[in-house]
Chain A
Amino acid sequence: MLENLDFAPIWLTLHLAVTSTIILIVLSLPLAWWLANTQSRCKPWISALVTLPLVLPPSVLGFYLLVLLGPQGWVGKATDWLGIGTLPFTFSGLVVASIIYSLPFAVQPLYNAIQNMGKRPLEVAATLGASFWDRFWTIVLPLIRPGLLTAITLSFAHTMGEFGVVLMIGGNIPGETKVISVAIYEHVESQAYTQAHMLAGGMLLFSFFVLLILQWQDTGQRRMLN
């Protein structure tokens, strides 16, 4: 049975999820930090913009990304001029789309964790002689760890499961943009229910265990801090 399974979409999906998650966390930390500490009037605007992918139909997001990143779009023209070429229907295009699509899932838990921590531990550490990066490694990271793990798992799982955006901006190129969700769709289209079952069942189990791990983490964390 397993020999019928095409593993390429699975590896591609994992590759996409790992790449996007790493970039997402690096981008989201400063963004969440800024949102938690700023008094700027732009904050509601930026907040709304970051949350937008949560409520927007993926096809809408995919459509605008396609327009924007395509040969006629601003970003497309820019990437073309830089010699990168246009991003739609490439793996890089998928990464960019995934990052935007999963942004709220990374920013929100980090934002909550940073707000929860408050400024006081950092003030204490500063009065004890800890520099900015010292405070970041020894105070911020340990104290926002639960939020950070939630952000990592959620963005990873969310990227694994995306479909609409991928279809719009990536299409269905084997080894390049054909991820699991697209492969399932294709199997169903061609009545190959066995293969569809294997991929879909795998996704189901994966997603369930991710959420289960998050729950365990949460209770463990509560026990430590209370």
Chain B
Amino acid sequence: METHTHQLVLQLHRETAAFHFDIDQTLTLQGITFLFGPSGSGKTTLLRSIAGLDILPGSHIQFNQEQWQHQRDIVPTHQRAIGYVFQEPSLFPHLTIQQNIEYGYCRHRATNNKITIQEVIDWLDLSALLTRRSHELSLGQKQRVAIARAVLGSPQLLLMDEPLASLDRQSKHDIMPYFETLQRQLNLPIIYVSHAMEEVLNLADQLVLMHQGQITASGPVNQIMTDPSLPLAQEEEAAAILQGEILQHDHHYALTQVQVPGGHLTVAQRNITPGNKIKIKLMAKDVSLALEKPQHSSISNALLAEVICLQDSTEPSLLIVQLGLKTLHGYEFILARITKRSRDLLKLEPGSQVYALVKSASIIK
């Protein structure tokens, strides 16, 4: 699949008693870019400013060649080639579902509509809902309609403000595969505001960390998640996401073998055809280190790795170790959490060759 990158120039500075904003960054957008941070960090304000729904005076916002705001020179929201999905579905109550999803399509700003209404209806499974009104739909269905409506406005940039936050667990789970379909079909850059780790693991390609009105880090999702100097690596749930490929299934033991950088992993079976690309989640607490490949152990997964750096943890006895798995182009990083005692016993230092023993790992898609 051909992938395009897009540039989003953000210069927003605002200082009031209640509010602090200081952003000067050019984001490279590719796939789904997550704006991630605690509530109150300014994620939604930033998203709304990109859409022109909130105007911070004196800002500069530019998407590719289009200047959306420069000081007082402001392109109004309806002239920006965006789609926006709000936290609540916000369907128009006076229109049918069909009329809702056609609202943006009829007003398409792009010179040519790349997609048809029927395609989007199929991707998001909406055909049974078209003649109904919004109050007859479940929250999950409404949000799917809202996504269809936003996509059919022919945006060049899709903005999503915690689109799953108002949904229950089951609806969330049901709706997530639709994002992948959309991303695959449209090849549209998406900026996605969230503070749910589960959504990051499942959907993110790029990750932008926000804290108190500032962007503290940005880059490919695994690079940000496995950087020991950033807060995500310090969390109890710290994890790495590896790209892998299904090798084969062992139906007798219900296991699946996956090729990842540094070796093979055997994980619980998932019915995905061999040869398919998948993502694997490796949690730092499930990775331990050994100097030799263990011969007699219940842990069968061992990846050859190099210690990149060791970082103190907030827990005094523990260290966070960033490990590099060799790939064709360099390294893919994972994290391990070990005791300081283990470090001294194994004499670990940057550059040491080790085996990363993986107690458990799971396929996320």
* Residues of chain B with a CB closer than 8 A to A120's CB: 86, 88, 90
Which of A124, A131, A134, A224 lies in contact with B92, CB distance below 8 A?
A124
| Residue of B53, B86, B90, B94 ringed by the most chain A CB atoms within 10 A | B94
CB pair B86 A124 closer than 8 Å: yes
* Residues of chain B with a CB closer than 8 A to A139's CB: 92
Task: With both chains docked as a complex, state the minimum distance between the C-beta of B46 and any C-beta of chain A, in angstroms.
Answer: 15
Which of A127, A138, A226 lies in contact with B77, CB distance below 8 A?
A127
Q: How many residues does chain A have at the interface if contact means C-beta atoms less than 8 Å apart?
A: 19
Instruction: Answer yes or no: A200 CB below 8 A from chain B CBs.
Output: no
CB pair A127 B107 closer than 8 Å: no
Instruction: Answer yes or no: B277 CB below 8 A from chain A CBs.
Output: no
CB pair B90 A127 closer than 8 Å: no
CB pair A130 B107 closer than 8 Å: yes
CB pair B84 A129 closer than 8 Å: no
CB pair A128 B90 closer than 8 Å: no
Known: A120-B86, A123-B53, A226-B135. A128 touches B149 (CB 8 A): yes
Nearest chain B residue, comparing its CB with the CB of A121? B92
CB pair A128 B94 closer than 8 Å: no
Q: How many residues does chain B have at the interface if contact means C-beta atoms less than 8 Å apart?
A: 26
Residues of chain B at the chain A interface (Cβ within 8 Å) = 51-53, 76-79, 82-84, 86, 88, 90, 92-94, 103-104, 107-109, 135, 149-150, 153, 159
CB pair A126 B93 closer than 8 Å: no
Docked pose: A126 CA to B92 CA in angstroms: 13
Task: With both chains docked as a complex, state the minimum distance between the C-beta of A60 and any C-beta of chain B, in angstroms.
Answer: 42
Known: A225-B135, A226-B135. A126 touches B94 (CB 8 A): no
CB pair B108 A129 closer than 8 Å: yes
Known: A123-B53, A139-B92, A225-B135. A128 touches B153 (CB 8 A): yes
Residues of chain A at the chain B interface (Cβ within 8 Å) = 120-121, 123-131, 134, 138-139, 142-143, 224-226
Tell me what chain A mostly uses at the interface: helix, strand, loop, or mixed. helix
Docked pose: A137 CA to B84 CA in angstroms: 21
* Residues of chain A with a CB closer than 8 A to B107's CB: 128-130, 134
* Residues of chain A with a CB closer than 8 A to B90's CB: 120-121, 124
Task: With both chains docked as a complex, state the minimum distance between the C-beta of A187 and any C-beta of chain B, in angstroms.
Answer: 47
CB pair B109 A124 closer than 8 Å: no
CB pair B76 A127 closer than 8 Å: no
22 contacts between A and B (CB under 8 A): A120-B88, A124-B90, A124-B149, A125-B78, A126-B52, A126-B53, A126-B77, A127-B150, A127-B153, A127-B159, A128-B78, A128-B104, A128-B107, A128-B149, A128-B153, A129-B109, A130-B103, A134-B78, A139-B92, A142-B94, A143-B92, A224-B93
Nearest chain B residue, comparing its CB with the CB of A139? B92
Which of A121, A129, A131, A142 lies in contact with B153, CB distance below 8 A?
A129
Task: With both chains docked as a complex, state the minimum distance between the C-beta of A190 and any C-beta of chain B, in angstroms.
Answer: 53
* Residues of chain A with a CB closer than 8 A to B79's CB: 129
